[in-house]
Structures are given as C-alpha cells and as structure tokens.
Amino acid sequence: MRILSGIQPSGSLHLGNYFGMMSKMIAYQEQSELFCFIANYHAQTSLSDGKTLARGTLEAAANFLALGMDPDRSTFWVQSDIPEVQELTWILSNFTPMGLLERCHSYKDKVAKGIAANHGLFAYPVLMTADILMYQSDKVPVGKDQKQHVEVARDIAIKFNNEYGEIFTIPEPEIDDEVATVPGLDGQKMSKSYGNTIDLFADDKALRKQVMRIVTAPIAVEDPKDPDACNVYKIFRLFLDKARDAALRQRYKDGGLAFGEVKQELFETVRDFFAPHAARRAELLADPDGLRAILARGADKARYAANKTLRKVRKKTGLVY
C-alpha cells in the first residue's frame, strides 16, 4: 500500500497542524510505504517572494524531519527537485476537460474571494494529479477541502488508462473524520488566520503567553467544572494518556481547580513534549547543506519511482520516436 501526500510549506506550525496532520503522517510510516513531499510548486500559486519560499521550504523540511519523518524508511522530498512532474502535468492536461477544472470548489472559492484568477490557480488540480499518478499512489490522505482534487486525479487516470491501458494506479482519497478539529485559544478551530494558535516551536516566553491567553469561563476556583466545556482541557487532553486524562477530569469535577494552575501545567507539558524536537529542528536548520543532502537523497528515490512511470507514459503517448 503506497500512501502519498503533499504539504505546502507554510510558516510556523501550531498544535492543529501537528495533531490534525503531521503526527498522522509520521505514524503512516509504521504500516505503509510513505511518499511525502513539500509542495513548493503549489505554494507558488499564493506566494511570489522567492526568498520566503526558499526559506519556507527548508523550514518545512526541518519541521517534518524533527518531528519524526524518517528519510531512510520513507521517501521524503521537495516537489521541484523532480521537475519531471511538470512534463506529466502537460501530458495529463490533454486528458483534462475544462469543465472538470471549472467545477473545482477551491478554485471557485478563491475567485469568489476576489483573488485574481490565473492559469496556475486554474491548473493546480492537474499538477496535483501528476503528483499523485506519477508515484502510483494507492491512498491519498487529505483534508475535506482537497477531496475533490483527488477525485479529479481519479477521473484523469481513468480517462488516460482507457486510452492507453493500465498505466496509472487509480488513487483513493482518505478522509479521516475521526480527527477532531483542534480548538484554538478562543475555542474556534485553531488556525493561523484566526490568530488563536499555540505554536510548536515558540520560545518558552512566547509559548507561556499563548497558553495563558486561552479563554476560560468565569467560574470560581472552589466550584466543580465541566472539563468538556473548557478550552484548556480540550487542548490538554491531546497530550494525556488514559490515566492522566482521568485524573485531570476528576480534578475538574472535584472543584478547587484554578485555571491559572492548569494552564501552567499545560504550558510545561507542551514545552516538554516538543523540546527534543525543537532541539533537533535547530540542529537541522543550523546545517542547511546537511538538510539539502537529506532532501537530495529523498529526491533520488522519488526520481527513480517517477521515471518508471514517465518512461511508460512517454512511450505510449509517442514522445519516444
């Protein structure tokens, strides 16, 4: 079973990114063959500053590696290190009806928000299709917003296979409805755009400040409290095993629990949980050439798999003469 996912490089990471996506991705390595890449071509649809993209790409790679991506066990690379994916995008464009792209919600939503539509934004799902088909992926874990793009990939793969035979594996989207949305400081979904995040690699002072800002109800210390109605608990439980979770719930119900105290404990828990990863991240970022070497080895593995597919495609479509 080959699992593939692409992740756009985006600035700092928060607990929602970690528990909603990264920890799952890292866990896939235990059971499956994982292909995972930094989608820097896709990021170009919303980012034009070259320095920011280059820096963001290295940081995203360091984040993943520090949090447990194992480059020996998995194939982990930067999308643009295999520019062959653009050749496949072009070939697949000829099997992509305009209507299929015109129906894509993510494109329509962006246009509705007033983002000027360009060809990159419109053709984004074809590049994503090439990512998926190039590596013969069986399963593609994505958030709900990306499900339609995996369906586009299926449609294009079926159309292509109908013409040329069984060249591509037909991919399945995998949507995990189980993963609850991680709430932010104010109880809404934790998101960069809401400014309500707890960041993974903030320094202690900034982290403590974020945790102390978690919104709580005005309930007296001595009164019993409902843990499930408390934003601090909803975040804290992500870090707790069964026994510690039960103990914390009991303290809420018994009364006598001060929110300031439990926030301090949460701060220490988050800090201690990520401290070893933060140290590893700092090491990786301090040696960008070492990091590039890890990514180059990942690209070699990805290129090998890509060329297997591309050779067949070029032959079938008449590019080999």
Contacts by residues 277-280 (CB-CB < 8 Å, ≥ 24 positions apart) = 277/66, 277/67, 277/68, 277/200, 277/201, 278/66, 278/200, 278/201, 280/65, 280/66
Burial class (CB in 10 A: 0-12, 13-18, 19+), 24: middle
Closest residue (Cβ) to ligand TRP? 6
Q: How far is CA 25 from CA 7, 37, 199, 210, 232, in A?
A: 10, 11, 19, 26, 26
Q: Which is nearer to ligand ADP, 111 or 180 (by Cβ)?
A: 180
How many C-beta atoms lie closer than 10 Å to residue 305's C-beta? 16
The one catalytic residue among 24, 147, 159, 189: 189
Question: Least CB distance from residue 74 to ligand ADP, whole Å?
Answer: 18
In the list ligand ADP, ligand TRP, none, the entry touching 214 (Cβ below 5 to 8 angstroms by class) is none
Residue type, 104: C
Residue 129 to residue 147: CA distance in whole angstroms: 12
In the list ligand TRP, ligand ADP, none, the entry touching 42 (Cβ below 5 to 8 angstroms by class) is ligand TRP
Active site (annotated) includes residue 192: yes
Q: Which is nearer to ligand TRP, 143 or 256 (by Cβ)?
A: 143
Question: Least CB distance from residue 141 to ligand ADP, whole Å?
Answer: 9
Q: Does 143 bind ligand ADP (CB under 6 A)?
A: yes
DSSP letters spanning 87-101: HHHHHHHTT--HHHH
Give SS3 for 36: strand
Among 95, 131, 225, 295, binds ligand TRP (CB under 6 A): 131
Among 104, 190, 207, 291, binds ligand ADP (CB under 6 A): 190
- Structure-token pair, residue 249: 């719930």
Q: Which is nearer to ligand ADP, 48 or 193 (by Cβ)?
A: 193
Who's near 213: CB < 8 A, 6+ residues apart?
185
Residue 148 to residue 175: CA distance in whole angstroms: 11
In the list ligand TRP, ligand ADP, none, the entry touching 189 (Cβ below 5 to 8 angstroms by class) is ligand ADP
Among 78, 85, 123, 182, binds ligand ADP (CB under 6 A): 182
The one catalytic residue among 192, 234, 312, 316: 192
Among 10, 23, 169, 269, binds ligand ADP (CB under 6 A): 10
Question: What does the binding site for ligand TRP look like in residue numbers (CB under 6 A)?
Answer: 4-6, 8, 39, 42, 128, 131-132, 140, 142, 146
The residues that are catalytic are 110, 189, 192
Residues forming contacts to ligand ADP in the complex (CB under 6 A) are 10, 16-17, 20-21, 143, 181-182, 189-193
